Amino acid sequence: MQAQGEAKKTTLTITDNRTGKSYEVPIENDTIRAIDLRQIKVNPDDFGMMTYDPAFMNTASCKSKITFIDGDKGILRYRGYPIEQLAEKCSYLEVAYLLLYGELPNKTQLADWSTHITTHTFVHENMKKLMDGFHHDAHPMGMFIGGLAALSTFYPSAKHIEDKKERELTFYRLIGKAPTLSAYAYRHSIGMPYVHPDNELSYAANFLSMMFRIAEPKYKPHPALEKALDVLFILHADHEQNCSANAMRGVGSSHVDPYSAAAAAAAALYGPLHGGANEAVLRMLDEIGSKDKIPAFIKEVKEGKGRLMGFGHRIYKNYDPRASIIKKLADQVFEVTGRNPKLDIALELERIALQDDYFVKRKLYPNVDFYSGLIYQAMKFPVDLFPVLFAIGRMSGWLAQWAEMLDDADQKIARPRQVYLGYVTRDVPAMNQRG
């Protein structure tokens, strides 16, 4: 126990049992710097101690002021604001501004910001030719990633990443054009003409217009669907150091232009372990087919024959707060679209799983993907487009993470170490001596 008057030591003492030597390293924010371990050596010419941490299970790669998650309590906050309040009281563009600039915009700032985004939704006509070049059944996420990378060739001055004006232009362009690229990818896949952005519509409504407008002189989505999509963008906007944010930071740390870094982040999101799980939930619900088949399905999951998709999370060991919001949102959407019949299966699955010892013991709760796919499907988005919808919302988070990384004096080009376990050295044998 700490004696009265004695200053609390914020250091960690490590004893190396190989040598009997002790080292004292400073603790800051409950972490030690891995580089402080380098002094721990058996011989003076040793490289020094490192940590081994595949998948960054216990390594903070940065300091951040953007997003806070407490996975045990089911808390998610952007810049200190609870996700529940942001989803209820703000628009996606307000949240994007908050993530990028640290504060919610006032009325004038929001008007300016919305104008900037809206006037950057158009893409160069050559982007249409690029989209046309894809095969008719190309996956929209592949087209979206290709489109983002291509944008870097249209805006070469964006490589001046230290120029704050250029950076801001990139924010407008990437947030503005992400829905346009996504909708173009979809329209190409169904052989329909591309729909130009409509600058009089909100961010979400314009996206729905570019997706679904056919011959209407003016496309006006149902306000409940427009609001639901906007909330889904908010819920997906950032999630601290996830796989795609880490890709954005890692690739951006080479000081490549932000369009190329965003393409890399989108590629990370494409993977089924990251942005593709909501699609897997729908396929699972289809496979189950009816409520009476649920007990047999749960039994198989418990026997290790597959997973309950949309359940469990690396960070959340409680109900994912985004899943609670989406569950409520689903009711509002289904009032307009009609009930997605898979919802009954999903609700029953959740009810049974949350009472089952297997799931309770492992703290497996519904995550953001459990209900989002049902809403997307009810709104007529094809399953292939789900990761693209995720990417539209996440664009503001990627940009916020990227800008924070560039302004952080601690950051350098990302370059992990390895534990080399291969041959020490050997001579190259002649061809006739190789096995």
Active site residues: 274, 313, 369
State the DSSP string of 165-229: HHHHHHHHHHHHHHHHHHHHHHHHHHT-------TTS-HHHHHHHHHH-SS-SS----HHHHHHH
Is residue 298 at the binding interface for ligand ACO, with CB under 6 A as the rule? no
Is residue 397 at the binding interface for ligand ACO, with CB under 6 A as the rule? no
Chain residues 66-105 in contact with ligand ACO, contact rule CB under 6 A: none
Distance CA(209)–CA(201), nearest Å, equals 9
Residue 323 vs residues 147, 311, 353: alpha-carbon distances, Å? 30, 10, 15
Q: Which residue is nearest to ligand ACO (CB)?
A: 312
* Residue 327 CB, nearest approach to ligand ACO (Å): 15
Does an H or E element contain 91, and which?
Answer: none
Residue 334: CB atoms within 10 Å: 16
Distance CA(45)–CA(173), nearest Å, equals 51
* Residue 265 CB, nearest approach to ligand ACO (Å): 14
Q: Which is nearer to ligand ACO, 192 or 360 (CB)?
A: 360
Kindly indicate which of the ranges 70-78, 126-134, 365-373, 420-428 contains the residues binding ligand ACO, using the contact rule CB under 6 A: 365-373
Q: Which is nearer to ligand ACO, 188 or 313 (CB)?
A: 313
Torsion sign across C-alpha atoms 196, 199, 204, 208: negative
Q: Which is nearer to ligand ACO, 40 or 99 (CB)?
A: 99
* Residue 279 CB, nearest approach to ligand ACO (Å): 11
Of the residues 94, 230, 369, 404, which one makes contact with ligand ACO according to CB under 6 A: 369
DSSP bridge pairs for 67: 78
* Residue 278 CB, nearest approach to ligand ACO (Å): 8
Kindly indicate which of the ranges 11-19, 146-154, 161-169, 301-309 contains the residues binding ligand ACO, using the contact rule CB under 6 A: 301-309
Number of H helices, E strands in the chain: 17, 5
Half-sphere exposure of 251 (CA within 13 A, CB side): 21
Among residues 410, 398, 412, 409, the alpha carbon closest in space to that of 100 is found at 398
Is residue 349 at the binding interface for ligand ACO, with CB under 6 A as the rule? no
- The site for ligand ACO, by CB under 6 A, has a size of 17
Is residue 364 at the binding interface for ligand ACO, with CB under 6 A as the rule? yes
Show the DSSP H helices in 6-91 as ranges.
Answer: 83-89
Distance CA(353)–CA(308), nearest Å, equals 9
Q: Which is nearer to ligand ACO, 219 or 311 (CB)?
A: 311
* Residue 370 CB, nearest approach to ligand ACO (Å): 7
* Residue 266 CB, nearest approach to ligand ACO (Å): 14
Is residue 299 at the binding interface for ligand ACO, with CB under 6 A as the rule? no
Chain residues 307-336 in contact with ligand ACO, contact rule CB under 6 A: 307-314
Is residue 375 at the binding interface for ligand ACO, with CB under 6 A as the rule? no
Distance CA(408)–CA(163), nearest Å, equals 15
Among residues 283, 373, 360, the alpha carbon closest in space to that of 327 is found at 373
Fill in the amino acid letter for 4.
Q
Is residue 301 at the binding interface for ligand ACO, with CB under 6 A as the rule? yes
Of the residues 277, 333, 392, 403, which one makes contact with ligand ACO according to CB under 6 A: 277
Residues that bind ligand ACO (CB under 6 A): 273-274, 277, 301, 307-314, 362, 364, 367-369
